[in-house]
Structures are given as structure tokens and as C-alpha cells.
Amino acid sequence: MLSSILALLHSLFYPHSCPGCGEEVRGKGVLCDPCRRGIWHPRSFQPLSLDCPHLDGLFFLMDYAGGIQKALQMAKFRGREDLLPRLAEEWRQGVLREQRFHWHLVPKIRLAATGIPTDPVRKKQRGYDLPEEIFRPWCRQEGYLWENLLIRNRSTRPQYGLTPEERKKNIKGCFTLARQENLPDIVLLCDDICTTGSTLEEAARTLKRGGVKKVYALALASGN
Ligand SMILES: [Zn+2]
């Protein structure tokens, strides 16, 4: 309650400006309409086309460029916590509008959504886990159970600037399961950005070794 009052006061005194162009944004999203149109690119990928054999499908909403790239960097590196609910709103509204996210999710099958866990050191600095902040509000609305199924067991170098082979090596074995038993049958694996798919693939491999049957990856933005 208090936080929503504070958020309301904040929005009255500090109107939100679009990270892409600086124009005031009136809606609940993070971007203005022209900046959103510039990077809007909802698409599904076949896992093998991205060398992700443990995944069963991938869906990305935007290109990782322009305003969304700036917004994610601000949320990651400049402590702009105020952008988190707006980023969540971009995903929620985008998926709703697109209605292209329609893998056959069998009713009554045990399904959960989980995020790629942030490196513990970076999470401590940042104070939040970006994938969870972006996807959890949408899961709540859709009735998908959110569970933190993965743990990052060691720090990794930032993937930026590494070759695909180096990325795979960097990330190999860095996840463990938060529990060994009673895992869901289907997992929606969520991350803010997908670059080469190597992080999603490694997480999917870990989940499937634990007995998860299908893993679908979702990312707000991708460079693919
Ligand atoms: Zn803009």
C-alpha cells in the first residue's frame, strides 16, 4: 500500500521519460510508442537453429536495441529500480497484444515459470533479480506458478564480448537445481535478454537432467 502511494506520488512529481528518446511516457510501459515500434519484433525460434537442443521452443518479444537496450542497461547498471514495473508491463502487454505465445500447454500438467538467476554478487549490488521482476507479475496474472528452480553455483564472467564457444564454456555447470524432487513437468524459462542462447541452453540442460520434460524459453529482448 505504502509503496503504491509512493509510486503514485513519484509519478506525479517525476513524469517518466522514455529511455529511448527522452519524451514523456503517459502509459505504464517503459517506452514511448515510436521507440517501441522501432524494436518491436515478436518471434519464435526453433531450438536447433540456435543450437539449444535442450529447449523445446523460444519466444522473444523485441530486438535488443534502441530504447529497450537502454532501459535494461539502466535497470541493470544504474540502479533504476523505478523502471522494473514498467519493464514488466512491456512484457505483459506485449504478450497479451501479440497472442502468438501459444505452445500447447496441456491443462493440469504441472507447470512452473522460473528465471535465469542473477549472479549472487551482482544481485547483492543490484538488490533485485531482473528476470523475476519482469516476468513474475505476468505469471501472477496468468495463473502460472513462479518458482525459483535454479541456483547459480558460481560467478561467471560477463557473456558480453565472448565468442559462442567461450560463452558455452563460461556458463557450463554454473546452475544447480534448487531441489531434486517434485519438479514440474513443463518449465517456462525466463530471461531479460537472449544473446546466443547459451545461458538458456545450460539452464534447460540442468532442468532436464532433473526430470523436467519440456522447457520453453522466453526473453523480453534478443539480438538474434
Ligand atoms: Zn521514445
Strands, sheet with 57-63, edge to edge from the N-terminal-most edge strand: 40-45, 57-63, 214-222, 186-194, 111-115, 145-146
Spatial CB neighbours of 79, under 8 Å, sequence gap ≥ 6: 126
Count of C-beta atoms within a 10 Å radius of residue 76: 17
**Which residues are placed with Cβ below 5 angstroms of ligand 1, an ion?**
18, 20-21, 32, 35
pLDDT value for 160 = 77
Classify residue 6: in a domain, yes or no.
no
In a domain, 101, yes or no: yes
Strands 214-222 and 186-194: parallel
User: What's the pLDDT score for residue 19?
Assistant: 97
Percent of the chain topping pLDDT 70: 92
Looking at residue 102, its pLDDT comes to 64
**CA 222 / ligand 1 centre spacing (Å):** 19
Cα 67 to averaged position of ligand 1 atoms, centre (Å): 7
> Domain limits at 63?
16-222
Give the Cα separation of 142 and 160 in Å (integer): 33
The verdict on residue 1 lying in a domain is no
Tell me, in angstroms, the distance from the centre of ligand 1 to residue 74's CA: 15
> What pLDDT, on the 0 to 100 scale, is given for residue 8?
66
Distance 174 CA to ligand 1 centre (A): 37
Span 166-183, average pLDDT: 93
Q: Is residue 170 part of a domain?
A: yes
pLDDT in tens, 85-103: 999 999 999 998 887 666 6
For residue 190, report the distance from its CA to the centre of ligand 1, in Å: 25
pLDDT in tens, 191-224: 999 988 999 999 999 999 999 999 999 999 999 8
Residue 134 has pLDDT above 80, yes or no: yes
Q: Is residue 4 part of a domain?
A: no
Judge whether 183 lies within some domain: yes
d(CA 11, CA 171): 39
**Alpha carbons 112 and 189: distance in angstroms, whole number:** 9
Query: Cβ–Cβ contacts within 10 Å for residue 115, how many?
Result: 26
Ligand 1 centroid to residue 27 C-alpha, Å:
12
pLDDT digits (tens, 9 = 90+) for 34-79: 999 999 999 998 899 889 999 999 999 999 999 999 999 999 999 9
Looking at the domain assignment, is residue 218 inside a domain?
yes
pLDDT at 183: 96
Tell how far the Cα of 38 is from the centroid of ligand 1, in angstroms.
9
CA of 22 to the centre of ligand 1 (A): 6
Q: Answer whether 63's CB lies under 8 Å from 223's CB.
A: yes
Specify if 152 maps to a domain. yes
Assign 7 a pLDDT band (cuts: 50, 70, 90): low
What is the distance in A from the centroid of ligand 1 to the CA of 17? 8
Total structural domains within the chain: 1
Distance from the alpha carbon of residue 111 to the mean position of ligand 1, in angstroms = 36
